[in-house]
A and B are shown apart, each in its own frame.
Chain A
């Protein structure tokens, strides 16, 4: 049954249907509707909602709840996610599952409350101290939130790692038809590490302090092997009109929605342009790009930032092909027509270059 919902509310409902039983959060625009939705919804389903005293408190409540065995989540935006970094590092080190939602806003600093994509580095490079990674999922529509949320809780549980859902202010506030009928609650997995009280079993401990440097090193390599496994198994992306494309736009989330609009316009003009839309920003669809560059020479990265994902695109291409870029930071949301004009200019220049070469 389809109903009209805002992204923030749909996200909350999807979390509840995915088995989230504990939500801890602190108000920050543009995700307040999610916190408010959970305040209303959690008691209805027998879950727990606490408005914490800060984002720091919230991430630590998530840590405690995860250690006790619950599917727990928190949500925030840029400045609050910055506050949570220590807690996220601890979650990864302790190998505890958690889902952290970031509805990205303009930054840095106080920024503004408009949509942006400027927290890509923060999310995909760990964000906190130490050697670790977060799984980063980037939904592109309100409906996709209903697939991304159960996936987030499932990956968190199975890999015992924090998972970041990277939305943005527009995705959170826009209203679209959404259908929860297809949402499958991820199955519970056995958790032999959780703290439940040492009844009839030896006492358990959860800690990340490891004084012995060689043991700490081994712990780091253990986490590293886990991340390698995720890189092999959990990459997700969408391709749009890439079969005959001569230039491929790389964009995610709301940026990909705008890019699709631009590409449809350009296709009407006969330009052969396609889109690669990463759904997992970490692990990044490196192999997909390496496949594409065998036949396509031009990649156009579009981000609502000054340029962050472009680094991962360049790393993936390993110097092959040409990488073009257009970025609008600070919460500016460009129209598809604007992006189309920029892309077409780069496309035509690339065509001209190819013509000169072939003569």
Chain B
């Protein structure tokens, strides 16, 4: 018997606090697999957000700092400018990157900061109980859009990758999902390519990951995964949005 798959070395023993079927767990695991496979444990420094992803330092066996809500890209900028040889990543959710942190994220991309942003797009504010996010779909019901998101009062869902693609400093932007095995494999490859982009000094990289939030979508985990295929990915198309190496 040979082991095909076991717990990644760089994940601590702590049980994840995430809800059943939450995409954060998959993404956390993928990140530590890639960091280990690329031999970056001694280099990686992660910035954790406010949001469900805020407890990364309990799970990752790498240096982690907690950032104020939305400021991850600025904190990562500070770290990377002091330690340009380290791998610096900022893990951010919808509110963190696309609402309160828009300026910091956009300008880090614009300056071509050699950091990698892992952007978890689950269409809601999870930690605070399911309020509307900038990525919430039109007509989607959330606790602050009880009648469904109406563009007149709440605007439209923001496609972060496409917005950042207009900035010359952004070098690698890909949108992936973690709702089924084939997608998870692609997500892992994208994370590896983003890290490589940083190591090559090509500029700002971002992997946007469509992730299920079963509890706040009020769906069973499997239905949430299907919802990503059937509805969400139609507004947020998967694939490489920008790659300056091509």
Interface positions of A (Cβ within 8 A of B): 21-22, 24, 48, 50, 52-54, 56-58, 60-70, 72, 86-87, 90, 94, 195-200, 203-209
Contacts and interface: CB of A to CB of B under 8 A. Distances in A.
Nearest to A21: B82
B61 A196 contact: no
17 contacts: A22-B78, A50-B81, A50-B111, A56-B71, A57-B104, A61-B81, A64-B74, A64-B75, A64-B77, A68-B78, A69-B82, A195-B63, A197-B86, A198-B61, A200-B42, A207-B66, A209-B66
A203 B64 contact: yes
Interface string B59-92: 0111111111001001111111111001100000
Given A64-B76, A65-B79, A205-B63, A197 B45 contact: yes
A65 B78 contact: yes
Given A56-B71, A200-B42, A209-B55, 17 more contacts: A22-B81, A24-B78, A48-B82, A52-B107, A56-B74, A58-B74, A63-B67, A64-B75, A64-B80, A64-B82, A68-B86, A70-B82, A72-B78, A87-B71, A197-B45, A197-B86, A207-B57
A64 B111 CA distance: 17
Nearest to A87: B68
B203 to A, nearest CB: 15
**Residue of A50, A54, A62 with most chain B CB atoms under a 10 A cut-off:** A50
B104 A60 contact: yes
Contact of A65 (B42, B68, B81): B81
B45 A57 contact: no
A134 B68 CA distance: 19
Given A22-B81, A24-B78, A64 B65 contact: yes
B183 interface: no
B74 A57 contact: yes
Interface string B181-220: 0000000000000000000000000000000000000000
A66 B75 CA distance: 10
B70 to A, nearest CB: 9
B82 A68 contact: yes
**B: interface residue count bin:** 35 or more
B68 A86 contact: yes
A68 B45 contact: yes
B140 interface: no
A171 B76 CA distance: 34
B138 interface: no
B34 to A, nearest CB: 16
B171 interface: no
Contacts of B104: 53, 56-57, 60
Contact of B63 (A61, A66, A196): A196
B78 A67 contact: yes
A contact patch SS: mixed
B81 A198 contact: no
Nearest to A93: B66
B165 interface: no
Contact of A207 (B65, B71, B83, B106): B65
Contact of A48 (B60, B76, B81): B81
B224 interface: no
Contacts of A72: 78, 82
A57 B103 contact: yes
Nearest to B85: A197
Q: Of residues B54, B55, B71, which shows the largest number of chain A Cβ atoms within 10 Å of its Cβ?
A: B71
Contacts of B77: 50, 57, 61, 64
Nearest to A200: B42
Contacts of B106: 53
A104 to B, nearest CB: 24
A195 B66 contact: no
A68 B79 contact: yes
B100 to A, nearest CB: 9
B79 A203 contact: no
Contacts of A67: 65, 75, 78-79
A195 B48 CA distance: 13
The 7 A-B pairs of least Cβ separation, nearest first, read: A64-B78, A199-B42, A207-B66, A205-B57, A60-B74, A68-B82, A60-B71
Contacts of A204: 63-64
B47 interface: yes
B237 to A, nearest CB: 28
A171 B206 CA distance: 44
B151 interface: no
Nearest to A205: B57
Contacts of A57: 71, 74, 77, 103-104, 107
